[in-house]
Structure 1
Amino acid sequence: MAQYRIRPYQDGDYEAARTLFACGILEHVPATYRHLLQAGRAQLALLALVAAVRAAAGCWAPALGAAVLALLAAWPLVRSLATSYVQEALETDLRDIRAAYVEPPDASFWVAEAGGVLVGTVAAVPAPEPGVLELKRMSVRRDQRGRGIARVLVREVLRFAEARGYGAVVLSTSVVQVAAQRLYEGQGFRRVGAASPSLLGSLLCFQIFDYRRELPAGPRAE
């Protein structure tokens, strides 16, 4: 397997970086659907639906049919949650990566390259909270995972933050991205909050976890 290297983003990486990000998010749709099916609130709602239809119809067939229809209807809702997030990203910061992450002095975008192919990305940008840097757009191609690429990308952001005197790095990941949660926790991040990203997310029992890692205090670079 080809060795990989981490380097700064170049304009020629534009399409590959956007595609990698989109594919990385959309691949979590099945896990999000399974998470919904396993959520106690969703199971109670499904049981209530079955009971209500059974009581109204007087037999089990319509009740079971209603349950099947509800499960089928949930899939496009779960997928729309992911696609809307991808679309928003592609139309905002990933629409002009150079303007969002290359030109600002305290932002950056890195890619991992193996065999001349882009296999990973990560970005950093100042967070709304003063003295805090946000890690964003972490993604590693599925067939390249397990090689330590994501860990090296996280460390690149941490070094970048420390060199500029930031006091902390924050990031967000979803409830279904268990491997990402383990990675960040292994790099010293701790979970500091959780919330649903939208009304649809709340209905689908989907949450975003916020993580934070404090950094050694240092002078803030100007």
Structure 2
Amino acid sequence: MASFRIRQYQEQDYEAVRALFARGMLEHAPAAFRHVLRASRVRLALLAVFVAARAAAGSWVLGLGAVALALVLLWLLVRSACAEYVRDALGTDLCDVAGAYLRSPECRFWVAEEGGAVVGMVAVEPAGGGELELRRMSVGREHRGHGLAQALCREVLAFARARGYSAVVLSTSVVQVAAQRLYEGVGFRRVGASYPLLLCTLLNFQVLRYRHDLGDGAK
């Protein structure tokens, strides 16, 4: 089993944390694209493109070409949406990690270190109502499957219990199946789903909400 240690974020981790997060999020673009293609309204739209192009040009080849072009444009749209999410994170809390997560005793940012390199990360901040929110969970691809993500989750849950929170909540996307299994494996349960943007509604891309109850909290 791989050896690693979990410690609090330090300023020298800044670039490694940002790169780890960006790589991890952009990895989901292909899965998001496949998920979008399974949506019935997207398939109907592609069929309509084919029928319209074939009728206009009188050619099956041009009809198929129009569908291929639509698929390329759809991929670019999905990839752009993923990249925009990353840019937003890097421009907000991950632009000033210490300011966002280390100035308050109710916030934390941990990194997992192996061989002197940052290979995992997770953060928490109060979500109101006695709840703590788990954020920015990411583990490098080559370091998955060794219990690192579970250890980061346990760190979060222990911190929440020690601080007297009643629950830990988090959000993840419908395409992050491994993350869903991870959270459910450590005691989280799905409590809701939403479409945060009109584009998400059109593409049937849900954001899932999870919750881990910790019993009676003091906050």
**Would you say same fold, with TM above 0.5?**
yes
Residue 89 of structure 2 corresponds to 89
Residue 115 of structure 2 corresponds to 115
Residue 106 of structure 1 corresponds to 106
Displacement of 1:2: 5.2
**Displaced runs of 4+ in structure 1, greater than 6 A?**
none
Residue 24 of structure 1 corresponds to 24
Query: What amino acid is the match of 1:177?
Result: Q
Contact 2:2–2:146 (CA under 8 A) maintained in structure 1: no
Residue 149 of structure 1 corresponds to 148
What secondary structure does 2:5 align onto? Answer: strand
Residue 140 of structure 1 corresponds to 139
Displacement of 1:157: 0.6
Residue 184 of structure 1 corresponds to 183
Displacement of 1:55: 3.2
Change (3 A) 1:73 1:17: same
Per mean C-alpha deviation after superposition, the further-off stretch among 50-59 and 10-19 is 50-59
1:218, 1:71 → 2: CA distance? 49
1:47, 1:218 → 2: CA distance? 53
Residue 174 of structure 1 corresponds to 173
Identity over aligned pairs, percent: 61
1:23, 1:198 → 2: CA distance? 23
- Normalization by structure 1: what TM-score? 0.94
Q: Aligned pair 1:124/2:116, yes or no? A: no
- Normalization by structure 2: what TM-score? 0.95
Gaps of 5+ in 2: none
Residue 218 of structure 1 corresponds to 217
Displacement of 1:10: 0.9
Contact 1:126–1:132 (CA under 8 A) maintained in structure 2: yes
Q: Aligned pair 1:67/2:70, yes or no? A: no
2:211, 2:70 → 1: CA distance? 37
1:111, 1:76 → 2: CA distance? 32
Aligned length: 219
1:33, 1:2 → 2: CA distance? 32
1:200, 1:57 → 2: CA distance? 30
2:66, 2:194 → 1: CA distance? 30
